[in-house]
Amino acid sequence: MCWRTPHPVSRTTAPDNPHLHGVGKPSVRDVLRTRGPLAVALVSLGLGIALAAAGWGHAADGVWAAGVVIVLLPLAVDVGRSLYHGDVGVDLIALAAMVGTLAIAEYLAGVVVAVMLSGGNALETAASHRARRELTKLIQRAPRTALRHGPSGIVEIPVDDVRPGDVVVVRAGEVVPVDGVALGGRAVLDQSALTGESLPVVVEPAGVVHSGTANAGDLFEMRALRPAAESAYAGLVRLVRAAETQRAPFVRLADRFAVIMLPFTLVVASAAWLFSSDPVRAVAVLVVATPCPLILAAPIALISGVARAARVGVIVKGGGVIEQLGSARTVLFDKTGTLTRGAVQIERVVPIGRVTEDELLTLAASVEQYSVHVTAVAVVRAARERGLLPLDAIDVVETPGAGIRGRVGQVMVAVGGAGGDARLTARREQRPGGMVIAVWIDQDLAGEIIMSDPLRPDAQNLVERLRRAGVRHVAMVSGDRKEVADATAAELRLDAVYADQSPADKLNVVRGMRASVDLRPVVMVGDGINDAPALALADCGIALGVAGATVSSETADAVITVDRIDRVADAIEIGHRSLGIARQSVIVGIGLSALAMLVAALGYLPPIAGALVQEAIDVAVILNALRALAD
């Protein structure tokens, strides 16, 4: 038997850390609510057996009946509340079964039902907590304070008081509180808890340091890039909170099935009573009828998939995302920073006109430092490597898919696409497969920056793995020009290429794929601001969130926290396995329950045996569902 709590289990939270709100260990009240009925039922069962063995049969019946009533009363209240709100479920079958055992004086059968009923609820809660363990570990690491370097020295402040530009000190072993840029010497970071990567990562001076990683080396200083609430780690915390509250479509289907199961069960039980004139048969049917395999196995298998994905560095927003990943038929990839390294390398800086190379690169870096796009990061990095310091810019505006502009000193600087300039277009055509961005000063073309963006080494077998997992169509949707996109697609053996795509064009591609029954569900994978609309429209959006809490990671259904694109295949394989286990558990469990109902209706399965058989089925399918946690 199963007894579903009508409201989500509340969780305690550290009062001084708002990032932990809504997650954590269950409260004492929740423990008593889930385990209290089980304790009462077990005590009454054991005490009654002892009294019966001593020859006090009537006393034993009284103890068993009392145990049934104590478990029955809160169940009746919950069922009544649910019925008042129009929620009819299999709890009503459980209530009818327990009332039936009392009516026909099958007190031992009733207390066995009570034990199994409360035991199923406790097992469900324990299984769900185990499945969420990986997510909870991630949340509990969220830092509460930070050490800020100010005029009066190093001061410990609440992490929410850190502002962009503040110098933060991170001591050995501490968790990085906010996203920032390393100052001074190199920083050695342990990213294992956040990304699953076991080897420490060395961040050079001026390199980006991500919140949630741990300092595995000596003390270092960093300059904060954004507030704690906008950091990469805070974004992951929000994702985890969503993962703990969202329910999978498969689970909602279980609820609808329960509504169908209720009248069917009542008809079978009534028929058994009518044709046999034996109310015991009707009670036995009710005892074995509740479809716990569907109600428990589906959510446990899918939430286990959520925990399994977190273990490999993929944070997903609940079981519904696992279900979409498990049934994915189309996967669309952005190119730059997604299929390619994203660590774009600058090959040449070519000034056009009177500016020098250093002047051109300094002006470009001055506006690009306000962007998180991979090409912008490469420009700023190249300038710093040459000893050039970006200048302050004002009125900075970034247009997804078009570029960024801002005022530096007395001039307006724009960095981005060709913008229709014939000179730059011609030069691009001479460099098939290369990346060229233009730099304008006061609307005059001042030069170009030639870049290369090599393919990620872990992308080589990605397409093959996706096809083995059941994906039928793998394509690339990129803002790069056709010859560049085609070169990457040919190397990966993709099914299709959509080049020169603006954010609106990417939306249309996703919309077209979703319109085809054969290509749904559609998974979109990207990392930039211009990918956010497509990620939101896709059946499942996956963002590479290693660069921080960008719009893409906030709108996506899943975020990859490690800088590896092959985690997309891992996530889809985990989803496929979890969904398969859920379906397997449901089909087998419901089939066995239906068979037990038939046997009980024919009089071959008394209530006590029926309760034991049904709960054996429940335990088996729950344990099977937990296989989704295994590697």
Averaged over 375-392, what is the pLDDT?
A: 89
Q: How far is CA 129 from the centre of its chain?
A: 16
Asked if 22 and 136 touch (Cβ cutoff 8 Å), the reply is no
Judge contact between 312 and 419, C-beta under 8 A: no
Query: Which range among 290-299, 379-388, 430-439, 478-487 has the greatest average pLDDT?
Result: 379-388
Confidence of residue 13 (pLDDT cuts 50, 70, 90): very low
pLDDT above 60 (res 432): no
- Res. 4 pLDDT band, cuts 50 70 90: very low
Q: What is the pLDDT of residue 11?
A: 30
CB within 8 Å of 134: residues ≥ 6 apart = 307, 308, 310, 311
Distance CA 375, CA 343 (A): 8
State both tokens at 562.
């490690």
* Closest to 183 in 3D by CA, of 157, 219, 220, 144: 220
Q: Name the token pair of 411.
A: 């001039």
SS3 helix, strand, coil % of the chain, rounded to 5? 55, 15, 30
pLDDT at 553: 62
pLDDT at 21 over 50: no
Closest CA to 222 of 184, 189, 181: 181
531 in catalytic set:
no
Least Cα distance to 415 among 433, 434, 393 occurs for 393
Rounded Cα distance between 7 and 82, Å, is 10
Average pLDDT, rounded, for the chain:
79
Q: What is the mean pLDDT of residues 581-595?
A: 83
Q: State pTM to two decimals.
A: 0.64
pLDDT at 140: 62
Supply 470's token pair.
């059941």
pLDDT for the residue numbered 563: 80
The topology (CATH level 3) of 139-226 is: 2.70.150
* CB-facing half-sphere around the CA of 610: CA atoms within 13 A: 34
Q: How does DSSP assign 470-527, residue by residue? A: T--EEEEE-SS-HHHHHHHHHHHT-SEEE-S--HHHHHHHHHHHHT-GGG-SEEEEE-
User: If 0-12 CB within 10 Å is exposed, 13-18 middle and 19+ buried, where does residue 21 land?
Assistant: middle
Comma-separated ranges of CATH 3.40.1110.10 domains in the chain? 345-452
Q: How confident is the model at residue 238 (pLDDT cuts 50, 70, 90)?
A: low
Strands 330-333 and 473-477: parallel
C-alpha span between 531 and 134 (Å, rounded): 28
59, pLDDT greater than 90: yes
Tell me the residue ranges of DSSP E strands in 4-67: none
For residue 297, give both structure tokens.
């196995």
Band of the pLDDT at 192, cuts 50, 70, 90? low
Q: Token match 């170009």: residue?
A: 448
Lowest-pLDDT range, 138-142, 405-409, 569-573, 609-613? Answer: 138-142
- Is residue 283 within 8 Å of 97, Cβ to Cβ? yes
- pLDDT tens digits for range 347-361: 889 898 888 999 999
Rounded Cα distance, 470 and 575, in Å: 11
- Taking the C-alpha atoms of residue 337 and residue 356, their distance in angstroms, rounded to an integer, is 29
pLDDT (average), residues 363-387: 87
- Tell me what pLDDT residue 429 has: 42
What percent of the chain is modeled with pLDDT above 90?
26
Give, in order, the Cα–Cα distances in Å from 537 to each of 507, 509, 561: 7, 10, 21
Going by C-beta distance under 8 Å and a sequence separation of 6 or more, which residues neighbour residue 382?
346, 349, 361, 365
DSSP per residue over 306-374, as a string?
A: HHHHHHTTEEESSHHHHHHHHT--EEEE-IIIIIB-S--EEEEEEE-SS--HHHHHHHHHHHHTT--SH
Of 334, 531, 566, 570, the active-site residue reads: 334
Least confident segment among 12-21, 462-471, 542-551, 586-595: 12-21
User: Which residues neighbour 473 within 8 Å (Cβ) at sequence distance 6 or greater?
Assistant: 329, 330, 331, 495, 496, 513, 519
Instruction: Determine the angle formed by the axes of helices 57-84 and 28-53, rounding to 10 degrees.
Output: 150
Mean pLDDT score, 287-301: 71
Nearest residue to 113 (alpha-carbon basis) of 126, 124, 102:
102
What superfamily would CATH give domain 345-452?
Answer: Calcium-transporting ATPase, cytoplasmic domain N (3.40.1110.10)
Residue 407 host element (H or E): strand 403-408
Average pLDDT of the segment spanning 29-46: 78
Least confident of 118-132, 511-525, 552-566: 118-132
Contact residues for 208 (Cβ-Cβ < 8 A; gap 6+): 179, 180, 181, 182, 225, 377, 547, 548
pLDDT surpassing 60 at residue 375 = yes
| pLDDT for the residue 37 | 82
Helix (H) or strand (E) holding 168, with range, is: strand 167-170
Instruction: Give the lowest-confidence range in 141-150, 508-517, 539-548, 589-598.
Output: 539-548
The residue written with tokens 């997650």 in the block is 23
pLDDT for residue 69 is more than 80: yes
Residues forming CATH 2.70.150.10 domain(s) in the chain: 139-226
Q: State the pLDDT at residue 239.
A: 57
pLDDT reported for residue 342: 60
Pair type for strands 220-224 and 167-170: antiparallel
Q: What's the average model confidence in pLDDT over 462-470?
A: 93
Q: 3-state SS of 456-480?
A: CHHHCCHHHHHHHCCCCEEEEECCC
Which residues, at least 6 apart from 422, have a Cβ–Cβ distance to it below 8 Å? none
Q: Which helix (H) or strand (E) holds 83?
A: helix 57-84
Question: Strands 411-416 and 330-333, how do they pair?
Answer: unpaired
For the chain, report the end-to-end CA distance as a whole number of angstroms. Answer: 29
pLDDT tens-digit series, residues 159-174: 889 998 899 999 988 8
User: Using an 8 Å Cβ cutoff, are 303 and 518 in contact?
Assistant: no
Task: Kindly state the average pLDDT of the residues 310-326.
Answer: 86
pLDDT tier, 426 (very low <50, low <70, confident <90, very high otherwise): very low
Which secondary-structure segment (H or E) carries 438?
strand 435-441
